[in-house]
């Protein structure tokens, strides 16, 4: 007769213990909050990865243009300070020379820089 009562009590105690264990594990340091944080981190890393992939593709296209398109090559060389084949470039340290020759006080009008 005691066995008839003991079996359901043991089952209820086991279920209560299992419920307590599940609650502790879900609320603990490796529970739902950690899972949520990891999911957020994964989303951020996937977004960064997608941005890097877009950058790589854009750079591949730019490299391909630089290999094949002469006008793109010329523009890039001008950005880097290289001139055309027979052009001469004078660089004077410490002076700013305006590109517009119509402005007064430019080097094209023959004015000499002040001695320091």
Contact 67, 76 (CB under 8 A): no
pLDDT in the model for residue 50: 98
- Contact between 99 and 107 (Cβ < 8 Å): no
* pLDDT single digits (tens) 87-104: 777 777 876 656 654 545
Stretches in the chain below the pLDDT threshold 70: 1-2, 95-116
């Amino acid at each position: 007769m005691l066995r008839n009562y003991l079996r359901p009590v043991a089952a209820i105690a086991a279920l209560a213990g299992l419920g307590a264990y599940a609650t502790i594990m879900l609320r603990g340091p490796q529970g739902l909050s950690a899972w949520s944080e990891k999911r957020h981190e994964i989303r951020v890393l996937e977004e960064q990865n997608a941005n890097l992939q877009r950058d790589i593709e854009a750079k591949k296209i730019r490299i391909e243009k630089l290999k094949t398109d002469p006008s793109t090559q010329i523009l890039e060389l001008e950005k880097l300070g290289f001139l055309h084949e027979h052009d001469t470039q004078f660089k004077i340290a410490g002076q700013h020379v305006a590109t517009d020759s119509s402005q007064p006080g430019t080097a094209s009008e023959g004015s000499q820089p002040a001695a320091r």
